[in-house]
Amino acid sequence: MTIIAKINKWNPEPEKISQAAGIIKKGGLVAFPTETVYGLGADALNAEAVKKIYAAKGRPSDNPLILHVADFEKIYELVEVNETAEILMKKFWPAPLTLVMKAKNIIPSVTRGGLDTAAIRMPDNPTALALIEAAGTPVAAPSANLSGRPSPTDFESVFNDMNGRIEMILDGGEVEVGIESTVIDITNPKKILMLRPGGMPREILEETLKMKLEVPDSQSKKRSPGTRYRHYAPNIPVIIWRCGEKFPDFDNAAYVGIHAPEIKIKNFILFDDIKNFARGLFAAFRKFEREKFSCVIVEYPQDSFGIGEGLRDRILRSAGAENKNMYNKGEKF
Ligand code: AMP
Ligand code: MG
């Protein structure tokens, strides 16, 4: 049985936090809201507890987890903190920014997918911070969905994927950002790698660091195995459309995007800006799959900055299109 507890995410009730923290301390799993997406949390320093995360999600065991922390001192026990880390942590955390640093031995190998580095983040959400604080340990937390599915941005999505598989879900309503954190590898301060675009815009990081973030080569790609796997996909096909191109013509399709297509489509969700698009994308996928549309046509936000880069990444991956041509000139891929 999964315990469900509604929680005021801005000002969480202490008794609910202490119940959830008790489960984590005992090696159990709790799903909780963060500002990006819902996380599936376990004690990051307890290898047996972390194994349960992989099992509950069906996640490949070489896909490392992000350790979530609530205070700055703890970080020094977990990883080698260099000057770049200090600058970024002090300036931005709590934030949707994950830093990959050289791991210390205290972090079990299973938590870091066998790598010698670890990914750390301080989430910007009072419930997440209170839970981590009360658990008294870093909390390993990937998104609280079955592996490969759209990340959960509201309670119902977590419940659908995780009910019966974990000890507790904290229901904090809808999240704010809607896509996961930006992950950068800062182990070499002269060559900082963008491993995954996300909630923290690249431009802000580059301005702060006064350098460009680099694309990982094939060697460093191996160092972020998560990027290899199919991700974020609903169980109906995702078809990509760029504004200005011919709109795909499918029976019983649904559409999600910012621009209204020229042809009539009955079932659609239109967002008024890029932030709301990012916030609502995964919930739209889940709604359309629930309502059994034949496919979801999604707008590819071509030249938006900020969260646009992360949103484009999620859209490409959900369509399985990272390495293929996008829907164009009436062809399907
Ligand atoms: P998720 O938990 O699904 O949001 O994914 C976490 C992301 O962080 C994945 O893309 C992982 O590959 C990446 N990640 C976690 N730990 C590391 C690490 N030690 N080195 C590189 N990437 C990591
Ligand atoms: Mg995930």
User: Which atom of ligand 1 has the smallest separation from the CA of 183?
Assistant: 8
Residues whose CB is less than 8 angstroms from the CB of residue 54 and which lie 6 or more positions away in sequence, other chains included: 60, 61, 110
What are the structure tokens assigned to 209, written together?
């660091």
If you measure from the C-alpha of residue 149 to the centroid of ligand 2, how many angstroms do you get, rounded to a whole number?
8
Q: pLDDT digit string (tens) for 189-231?
A: 999 999 999 999 999 999 999 999 998 876 665 666 655 566 8
pLDDT of residue 126: 98
Residue type present at position 228: R
* Sequence-distant (≥ 6) Cβ neighbours of residue 184 within 8 angstroms: 97, 98, 99, 100, 192, 193, 194, 195, 205, 213
Tens of pLDDT along 25-42? 999 999 999 999 999 999
pTM over 0.75: yes
Q: Quick check: CB of 64 below 6 Å from ligand 1?
A: yes
Cα(51)–Cα(315) distance, integer angstroms: 29
Cβ of 187 closer than 6 Å to ligand 1, yes or no, is no
Tell me, in angstroms, the distance from the centre of ligand 1 to residue 267's CA. 35
Whether the per-residue pLDDT at 45 is higher than 90: the answer is: yes
Q: Is the CB of 238 under 6 A from ligand 1?
A: no
Closest ligand to the CA of 196: 1
Distance 282 CA to ligand 2 centre (A): 12
Strand 253-257 and strand 267-270: the pairing is parallel
Q: Which one of the ligands is nearest to 145 CA?
A: 2
Least confident of 118-122, 268-272, 309-313, 321-325: 321-325
Residue 183 Cβ contacting ligand 1 at under 6 Å: yes
Tens of pLDDT along 232-289? Answer: 999 999 999 999 999 998 999 999 999 998 788 889 999 999 999 999 999 999 999 9
Q: Which atom from ligand 1 is nearest to the alpha carbon of 59?
A: 3
| Structure tokens, 298 | 């999604």
- Alpha carbon dihedral 263, 267, 272, 275, in 10-degree steps, equals -120
Instruction: Please report the pLDDT score of residue 265 as a whole number.
Output: 86
The ligand placed nearest to the CA atom of residue 198 is 1
pLDDT at site 328 = 39
Residue found by looking up tokens 């972020």 in the block: 224
Neighbours of ion ligand 2 (CB under 5 A): 142-143
Q: What does the radius of gyration of the chain's CA atoms come to, in whole angstroms?
A: 19
- 216 Cα–ligand 2 center, Å: 20
- Give the position, in ligand 1's atom list, of the atom nearest the Cα of 103: 19
The pLDDT confidence band at residue 331, using thresholds 50, 70 and 90, is very low
- 332 falls in which pLDDT band (50, 70, 90)? very low
Residue 11's CB is within 10 A of a number of other CB atoms, namely 10
Mean pLDDT to the nearest integer, 105-129? 97
Torsions phi, psi of 9, nearest 5? -70, -25
Q: DSSP assignment, residue 4?
A: E
